[in-house]
Amino acid sequence: MRILIKNFIVLGVFAFSFFVFSKITADHNGNNVPSEQDSTLTLIFLGDIMQHKMQIDGAWDDSLKTYNYDSCFKYVAPIIRNKDIAIANFEFTLGGEPYSGYPQFSAPDQTVNALLYAGIDIVGTANNHSCDRGRKGLERTIKVLDSMGLKHTGTFVDSLSRARSYPVIINKKGIKLALLNYTYGTNGIPATIPNIVNMIDEKQIISDLKRAKDSLPDKTIVFIHWGDEYKSYPNQYQEYFAKVCLDNGADIIIGMHPHVIQKIERKNYPDSSGRDVLIAYSLGNYMSNQRDRYRDGGLMVEIKLKKSKRVTTIENSGYFLSWVYTPDENGRRRFYILPVSQYEKNQSMLDTASFRKMMLYATDSRKLMKDESKGIKETIFEIETGLWK
């Protein structure tokens, strides 16, 4: 009888322990998060961050005798920092001096300080400028990003480092994400062996998505460099590879490269599970010196994920229009990213010509989004409350 009671007690303790520990997981900071408890995670995606020569020259600080880019992001930093995870396209190298803009970019390391200051957590480095400074530039970019603590993916020193770190797995607030990054090409400059730049290759993407699926993420994100430059509509190549990614488990696809914005679609994907997916074909220019119509701004796409009873869905999504303001200050061209909805209601900050140009960008962008996009709306600044709605 005593043996039976003892066994019953042991079983009871085991059952209770199993119940408790099955309900608890740990986030990346080691904080305990009940796995059955509702959890939300807000993501924000930013487009092409470039470094043309005029941007490099404008970032020089005479008083400090160094480069300083923090002011470029000061008007959008409050938005970015308010999100749980911010991901951007890093479209230049940290190849060292001499610094240069187009066509082969190499920017000062201080650009990384500014991205961290703005609240950016991860950058995709697979794009057509990944190899602009050859092996030295690719490897130095990775080394500097690592040393400064800015997470990255898309380019790798060798196959071993890729195997160890790809896809990127993100655990935060009880939600697990897999992140992949690819580019259509590298401007005819091949990666030097043993370096790797992730290319858009159907077999490789399918293989990588399978590996991502094996890690049991709540959502899988593909950050992809594709499309025709300066074209406001996705081409067949983009649509084909979007389908490849979605068919093989991607839930969110974020595109860059055209340097203009393209449509966003949020929809139920017609597969067996009817997943809620989102495709942003091109986020346009987030920070660049391209000043022509349609090219002088971009989109910030916000996605709020909700996990309830171990099922993660896209609870909400929206986009912010952003525009690059380039006033001359003390003999230098300065660059500021402005959230359009906020600063179209604060005309006094901009000169008349700049305000008109920003509003032309806003009009063009809103028409495109209204006509082409599905299931997503612009996030608007409410001046009375100072809140984004």
Residue 5 domain flag: no
pLDDT tens figures, 223-255 = 999 999 999 999 999 999 999 999 999 999 999
Residue 349's pLDDT band, with cuts at 50, 70 and 90, is confident
Q: Which CATH number does the domain housing residue 374 bear?
A: 3.60.21.10
pTM comes to 0.90
According to the model, what pLDDT value does residue 218 have? Answer: 97
According to the model, what pLDDT value does residue 36 have? Answer: 58
Residue 1 domain flag: no
Percent of the chain whose predicted confidence (pLDDT) is above 70:
90
Tokens encoding 362:
């806003």
Residue 29 domain flag: no
Whose tokens are 């989109």? That residue is 299
Q: What share of the chain is helix, strand, coil (3-state, %, to 5)?
A: 30, 30, 35
pLDDT tens figures, 302-348 = 999 999 988 999 999 999 999 999 999 988 999 999 999 999 988 88
Residue 27 domain flag: no
Residue 43 domain flag: yes
Q: What residue type is 86 in one-letter code?
A: A
Residue 31 domain flag: no
Residue 6 domain flag: no
Whose tokens are 């869905």? That residue is 313
More confident residue, 13 or 349: 349
Tokens encoding 90:
């890093």
Strand arrangement of the beta sheet that strand 175-183 belongs to? 168-172, 175-183, 219-225, 252-256, 276-280, 264-268
DSSP string spanning 249-282?
T--EEEEE-SSSB--EEEEE-SSTT--EEEEES-
- Boundaries of domain holding 342: 37-388
Based on the structure, what is the number of domains in the chain?
1
Torsion of CA 235, 241, 247, 253, to 10 degrees: -80
Q: What residue type is 166 in one-letter code?
A: Y
Tokens encoding 315:
């609870």
Tokens encoding 62:
């005479």
Residue 22 domain flag: no
| 244 contacts: CB under 8 Å, gap ≥ 6 | 202, 205, 206
CB contact at 8 A, 221 and 254: yes
Residue 210's pLDDT band, with cuts at 50, 70 and 90, is very high
pLDDT tens figures, 18-59 = 333 333 344 444 444 444 578 999 999 999 999 999 999 999
